[in-house]
Amino acid sequence: MRASRFAASYGARVAVAESGRFGGTCVNVGCIPKKLFSYAAHVREDFHVAQSFGWTVGEPQFDWGTLLANKDREIARLNAVYESVLAKAGAQILRGRATVVDAHTVELGGKRHSARHILVATGSWPHLPEIPGRDLAITSNEAFHLEKLPRRALVIGGGYIAVEFASIFQGLGVETTLAYRGVHLLRGFDADLGERLAEEMRKKGVVIRLQTNPARLDEGIRVTYEDGTAQEVDLVMFATGRWPNTADLGLEAAGVKLAADGAVEVNAYGRSSVASIHAIGDVTNRLNLTPVATAEGMALAKTLFRDEPTAMDHDNVPTAVFSNPNVATVGLSEERARERHGRVEVYKTAFRALKLTLGAHEERTFMKLVVDAASQRVLGAHMIGADAGEIIQGIAIAVKLGATKAQFDATIGIHPTAAEEFVTMREMAS
């Protein structure tokens, strides 16, 4: 979408081949509907918090069908907006699945189209482990279109999608278990985030089983784990990773080098092993986030059609996980910072947010700064708590600019907010 629009604005003739709905994973079965579901799940707690402020409400009733219909209407609106934006930019829209014939040719619906440049931006697809009975499970793709909510759900995985959907199901009243083969959630994030998120999710009622892997699924649905234990649920959802969506595109036959997982191998400018074929986004399996893909698209358009070679900077990219509570981070984890910089200083704080102090809610907000001991530059900022993504977005600017701990300390906090804790942490944890 973004690469096509900017390329057209730079004077290029552009055609877009799309076999599904416009907007890709994010709009249709990713970020947008996921966050709408997340909002819905959080409302359940808001009713209880409201009582501590003197509000009296009846027993809340949730209707899955209403949420689904409203979500579908919004997604359809976005699909139309994206298609309209492309058309207004002058891009030709080709409906159908395209395959690459050679370095300059694409085939679609029995017709061939030639181009000076070909861009592959086909995203990724959920990956299911090879275990008996896996066909009885769903992935995040199907979770957005369930006819009804299950009474008992098992989510398998420990990354973004797993913790988000475990929180969504639990928040909507589903008895939820999260099973993960690792020792703590959110592999690749700062270890404190995974450990503390598990604590908070357990408080809310999610049953979390770590170092646990399913061995088979049987009709029923009965899940048998590798350790011999078993449980019965009404729905199993695999959130065990996504693989680049390159199967049967003709890329290898055209000479494009693919990684073992099917990712298109590209240089810093998005160019593949074939000079005229480029790739951006999840299909390259570098940093699989929608804003990264759109930035890569803009950079590629500048490189190809504006004579401005531009490489996407993948350092210090902020991200959020819309679990309950939210998680957000920017920069290096403590573990990675120690590997790269040696001696680091770590600052942490944990507290109950002011909004929760009048009631019995025990959720604790957690914040952490990782600082290079030599330069005093803030290398990473991490948070668990309400609106973590909104807060870290602002902190990310400071981290991207190379702000020091002294500059954080010199910034006056906005009181009373959770965000002010990022500029008031003085006591070193390690």
**Could you read off the pLDDT of 365-401 as tens digits, one per residue?**
999 999 999 999 999 999 999 999 999 999 999 999 9
Percent above pLDDT 70 for the chain: 100
- Residue 40 vs residues 34, 106, 138, 170, 428: alpha-carbon distances, Å: 10, 42, 21, 11, 38
Residues of the chain with CATH 3.30.390.30: 325-423
What pLDDT does 94 receive?
97
As a whole number of angstroms, the distance between CA 223 and CA 211 comes to 15
Q: What does the pLDDT average to over 154-174?
A: 98
The amino acid present at 175, given as its one-letter code, is: E
Tokens of 333: 């984890």
- CB-hemisphere CA count at 13 Å for 27? 17
Crossing angle of helices 64-89 and 2-9, in 10° steps, is 20
For domain 134-240, give the CATH number. 3.50.50.60
CA 166 to mean position of chain CA atoms: 14
The amino acid present at 200, given as its one-letter code, is: E
Asked if 125 and 243 count as a contact pair (C-beta separation under 8 A), the reply is yes
- Residue 165 vs residues 7, 230, 328: alpha-carbon distances, Å: 36, 21, 16
The amino acid present at 126, given as its one-letter code, is: P
Question: For residue 60, is the peptide bond before it cis, meaning its omega torsion is within 30 degrees of 0?
Answer: no
What pLDDT does 329 receive?
98
Is residue 51 predicted with pLDDT exceeding 90?
yes
Strand partners, 244: 124
- CB-hemisphere CA count at 13 Å for 168? 25
What pLDDT does 199 receive?
98
pLDDT band at 57 (very low <50, low <70, confident <90, very high): confident
As a whole number of angstroms, the distance between CA 165 and CA 160 comes to 9
Out of 42, 48, 314, 415, the active site residue is: 415
Is residue 430 predicted with pLDDT exceeding 70?
no
Strand partners, 222: 218, 232
Q: What does the pLDDT average to over 315-324?
A: 98
pTM value is 0.96
Strand partners, 192: none
As a whole number of angstroms, the distance between CA 329 and CA 334 comes to 12
> Pairing state of beta strands 222-225 and 105-108?
unpaired
3-state helix, strand, coil in the chain (%, to 5): 35, 25, 40
In order, the DSSP letters of 361-399 are: ----EEEEEEEETTT-BEEEEEEESTTHHHHHHHHHHHH
Q: Among 1.10.3720.10, 3.90.1150.10, 3.30.390.30, 3.40.630.40, name the CATH number for the domain at 325-423.
A: 3.30.390.30
**pLDDT tens-digit series, residues 219-274:** 999 999 999 999 999 999 999 999 999 999 999 999 999 999 999 999 999 999 99
Tokens of 355: 């909004």
Q: What does the pLDDT average to over 99-112?
A: 97
Q: What does the pLDDT average to over 188-201?
A: 98
415 is catalytic: yes
Tokens of 370: 């990782």
Q: What does the pLDDT average to over 314-325?
A: 98
As a whole number of angstroms, the distance between CA 92 and CA 267 comes to 28
Residues of the chain with CATH 3.50.50.60: 2-125+243-305, 134-240
Domain with residues 2-125+243-305, CATH architecture: 3-Layer(bba) Sandwich (3.50)
Asked if 298 and 119 count as a contact pair (C-beta separation under 8 A), the reply is no
